[in-house]
Amino acid sequence: MRAFGIILAKDLRQRLRDGSLLLLGIVLPLTLAFVLGLASGQAEPSAFAVAGQGPFVEQALRPLERSGQISLRAAASPEEGARLVRDGEVAALFAVNGDSIEVIGHAGQPLAVQLARGVAETYNAQRQPATLPVTVTRDGTLDGEELDPRTRQAAGPAVFFLFTLVSGTAGVLAERREGTLVRMLAAPVGRWSVLAAKLGGGVLVGLAAMAVLVWVTGLLFGAVWGAPFVVSVLVVAVVLAASGVAALAGSFARTPEQAVNQQNAVAVVLGLAGGSIFPVPPVGGLDVLGLLSPHLWFLRGLGSGEVAVPALVLLGFAAAGWGLALARTGRTFLT
């Protein structure tokens, strides 16, 4: 335990000094969150269809149309509006009747669909009392997830860069190449504590970075991550999962550079598949592929507030990744 702390402190000092910790852990996730927020706010006006009339159309949609933020196209019926959505002529349909608003979105335009949902929900929230049911259908990107755009734009980049931050495999390989690993192993410390510090240090770094990001994105972007208990459990689980997956990816490397490249490649693929940058449309089996990504389970857990299943799945990723990585690296480094 003593060696674990000593090696960890040294690693932190090195990473703080070379700037990689702040860059990957804080600066890049915040920058990407900012850019995503900017992009969604400055996109071309989205086209929507509207079927039906009522106060929602006059009080919420028309003003947005007049200000140029959206364009509206009248549909004679909900069926015609749905056809426009299917054909891709509009991003979503507002099907309005006296009792409810139904948003029918095009799966390939998740940001515009989220905008439509936001408009409907905001209108409903401003009513006293807020009783108008708003439903969103045919939007595969929102399947099982209710994350608001601001939180998604904060949580996605955070978990995306987490996967590049947490693995210590490259560090182990660098220490071996530089001759410092044998020097540590020759010191009167437990051999496994050396490996644990190198590989497990990333977990603490990841937890710290995520904690900072949850706090800072709440302040800067108004992200609402959810109940503290749920967020804490999911953050711990996803950090463990990220470290396990990254350690496994790096365990196939022979040099530090290979390890970094392999970890980054896995991080990008899983990040995109899991919808951490843009929601994944349910086409071509991409949504099924996303189930293999810890990112998706983390975001799904945040969105639904349902912690048990996502956390268990994430811990499964962690167990599998760490188990296989230690079986490989432990044999390589400690014999």
What residues line the site for another protein (CB under 8 A)?
A: 2-3, 6-7, 10, 13-14, 17-18, 177-180, 182-191, 335
Is the Cβ of residue 146 or residue 178 nearer to another protein in the bound state? 178
Contact yes or no for 113/127 (Cβ under 8 A)? no
Smallest gap from Cβ 278 to another protein, in A, equals 37
Q: How far is the CB of 224 from another protein (least distance, A)?
A: 39
Cβ-based burial of 101 (10 A; exposed 0-12, middle 13-18, buried ≥19): buried
- DSSP character for 141? G
Residue closer to another protein, measured from CB, 66 or 177: 177
Question: What is the spatial distance between Cα 179 and Cα 175, in angstroms, rounded to a whole number?
Answer: 6
Please state the closest distance from residue 175 (CB atom) to another protein, in A: 9
How far is Cα 272 from Cα 290, in angstroms, rounded to an integer?
8
Nearer to another protein, 15 or 117 (CB): 15
Query: Least distance (Å) from another protein to the CB of residue 197?
Result: 11
Residue pair 276/153 in contact (Cβ under 8 Å)? The answer is: no
Per this entry, what is the length of the chain?
A: 335
CA dihedral 158, 265, 142, 125 (to 10 degrees): 20
The least distance separating another protein from the CB of residue 190, rounded to whole angstroms, comes to 8
Instruction: Sort 316 into a burial class: Cβ within 10 Å, 0-12 / 13-18 / 19+.
Output: middle
Which residue, 127 or 177, has its beta carbon nearer to another protein? 177
Closer residue to another protein, CB minimum distance, 185 or 216: 185
